[in-house]
Amino acid sequence: MSGWLDGTADRPARAELGEAVRLSLRSLEHRAPGRSVEVRVPPFAAVQCLDGPRHTRGTPPNVVETDPRTWLELAAGRLVWDEAVRDGRVSVSGNRADLSTLLPVEPA
């Protein structure tokens, strides 16, 4: 996976990529439990995290969404949150949708 993130290897198999995304999101969820921010990495997974007002129906007010490669770069500390948001690689909505203090994530 690191070779792909470095640009020195081909994209990993879909199953491997999906597993890496799910495990890293699970680590984020474990590190910052709660239900006030939804983090989406389509097509593989979405989790809710961060303590605060709980969301139960419809589109949550605090959403982070990005592609698998960007998420894994953020989770591994290869990309800085502010840079990813500024460059449009991460879509954020809501005043709680800032994961900068939680990245990189450590395995659960």
As to burial, measured by CB atoms within 10 angstroms (0-12 exposed, 13-18 middle, 19+ buried), residue 43 is exposed
Q: By C-alpha distance, which of 6, 8, 24 is closest to 66?
A: 24
* pLDDT per residue as tens digits for the range 8-65: 788 899 999 999 999 999 999 999 999 889 999 999 999 999 987 766 666 778 999 9
Is the domain defined by 2-102 classed in CATH 3.30.1050.40?
A: yes
As to burial, measured by CB atoms within 10 angstroms (0-12 exposed, 13-18 middle, 19+ buried), residue 44 is middle
Q: Give this prediction's pTM.
A: 0.90
Q: Which residue has the higher pLDDT, 70 or 2?
A: 70
Query: Is 83 strand, coil or helix?
Result: helix
pLDDT tier, 84 (very low <50, low <70, confident <90, very high otherwise): very high
Q: By C-alpha distance, which of 87, 73, 66 is closest to 6?
A: 73
DSSP string, 7-64: TSSPPPPHHHHHHHHHHHHHHHHHHS--SSEEEEETTTEEEEESSSS---SSS-SSEE
